[in-house]
Amino acid sequence: MSQFLEISGLCAQIDADGQKKQILRGVDLSIPPGEVHVIMGPNGSGKSTLSYVLAGREEYEVTAGTATFHGQDLLAMEPEERAAAGLFLAFQSPIELPGVNNANFLRTAVNAVRRARGQDELDAVAFLKMAREAAKALSMAPDMLKRNVNVGFSGGEKKRNEVLQMTLLQPTFAILDETDSGLDVDALRIVAEGVNRLRAPTFSALVITHHQKLLDYLVPDRIHVMARGRIILSGGPELARQIDQEGYTKFLAEVA
């Protein structure tokens, strides 16, 4: 029977200055429901590309392989259909939307996925109440809901805003692309707690990170090491600690 998230032989390329550049070279990965998996790996190994391909970014061309989500062909869906199906991507560099009120954006998004999921839309009052509580739990200043989406936000505020969106959109599968980068210790803990609050037997996450610190709070189930567009090694949580201490070089040498 098909897994929660099943990726098999996934290859993808991007057009770079007129040249096709192969980035993913056969990614195999399966994530069962309720688990938090981590992808580590050197810069340029294809981690962010994998997250973009799963979320449906059109610049990346899938040349081979499959990805199914709840048994559905993920790669055939539009980005917004994937969002409605429960996939969420916390961006490594969240995008600014000038003039677009954060609360308005969040409510539009939440109601779009609620509509697609056959749930009732939330009115402004109910939504604001929910959003304020979620923002407070992430120690966000109340005025962040009134500001324009990510405009003038500090790095830490942007990352928190991603976690806020994730909390409100209630995904079943979240990809966190270096959500811990640029965060101080306190912010890191707050963000990790935000993710932990979502943890449930029906929720899985794929966490892309370079640092063990986040994993101290998140407690992952599996660690995968990615290099040159493939998963080259998988293991338990101890693998992350080992990489943190010894670096990637040893592992890369082993598989080379």
Partner 1 sequence: MPAVTQTREAVEKLGQSTYKWGFETDIEMDMAPKGLNEDIIRLISSRKEEPEWMLEWRLAAYKTWQAMEEPKWAKVAFPPIDYQDAHYYAAPRKKPGPKSLDEVDPELLRTYEKLGIPLHEQALLAGVEVPEGERMPVAVDAVFDSVSVATTFRKTLEEAGVIFCPISEAVKEHPDLVRKYLGTVVPAGDNFFSALNSAVFTDGSFVYVPKGVRCPMELSTYFRINAKNTGQFERTLIVVEEGASVSYLEGCTAPMRDENQLHAAVVELVAMDDASIKYSTVQNWYPGDENGRGGIYNFVTKRGACRGARSKISWTQVETGSAITWKYPSCILQGEGSVGEFYSVAVTNNHQQADTGTKMIHLGRNTRSTIIAKTISAGRSDSTYRGLVRVQPKASGARNFTQCDSLLIGDQCGAHTVPYIESRNMNARIEHEATTSKISEDQLFYCRQRGLSEEDAVGLIVNGFCRDVLKELPMEFAVEAQKLLQISLEGSVG
User: Which of 108/196 has CB closer to partner 1?
Assistant: 108
**Least gap, CB of 77 to partner 1 (angstroms):** 7
Query: CB neighbours of 139 closer than 8 A, spacing ≥ 6?
Result: 160, 190
User: Which of 60/248 has CB closer to partner 1?
Assistant: 60
208 binds partner 1 (CB under 8 A): no
- Residue from 1, 19, 43, 95 binding partner 1 (CB under 8 A): 95
User: Which of 51/204 has CB closer to partner 1?
Assistant: 51
User: By CB under 8 A, what part of segment 96-115 binds partner 1?
Assistant: 97-101, 104-105, 108-110, 112-113
User: By CB under 8 A, what part of segment 37-76 binds partner 1?
Assistant: 55-59, 73, 76
Query: CB neighbours of 84 closer than 8 A, spacing ≥ 6?
Result: 112, 113, 116, 117
DSSP states of 225-242: EEETTEEEEEE-THHHHH
83 binds partner 1 (CB under 8 A): yes
Query: CB neighbours of 219 closer than 8 A, spacing ≥ 6?
Result: 36, 237
**Least gap, CB of 250 to partner 1 (angstroms):** 36
User: Which of 14/252 has CB closer to partner 1?
Assistant: 14
185 binds partner 1 (CB under 8 A): no
148 binds partner 1 (CB under 8 A): yes
179 binds partner 1 (CB under 8 A): no
User: By CB under 8 A, what part of segment 116-145 binds partner 1?
Assistant: 116
217 binds partner 1 (CB under 8 A): no
State the chain's maximal CA–CA distance in angstroms: 57
77 binds partner 1 (CB under 8 A): yes
For residues 40 and 178, give the distance between their C-alpha atoms in angstroms, rounded to a whole number: 10
Judged by CB under 8 A, how many residues of this single chain contact partner 1?
Answer: 36
Pairing verdict, β 222-227 and 36-40? parallel
For residues 110 and 84, give the distance between their C-alpha atoms in angstroms, rounded to a whole number: 10
**Least gap, CB of 244 to partner 1 (angstroms):** 30
Long-range residue pairs from 114-123, CB within 8 A, at least 24 positions apart, any chain: 116/80, 116/81, 116/84, 117/84
Pairing verdict, β 72-73 and 204-208? unpaired
Q: Which two tokens stand for residue 112?
A: 């779009």
Place of tokens 């990346």: 60
**Least gap, CB of 162 to partner 1 (angstroms):** 10
Residues that bind partner 1 (CB under 8 A): 55-59, 73, 76-84, 88-89, 91, 94-95, 97-101, 104-105, 108-110, 112-113, 116, 148, 165, 169
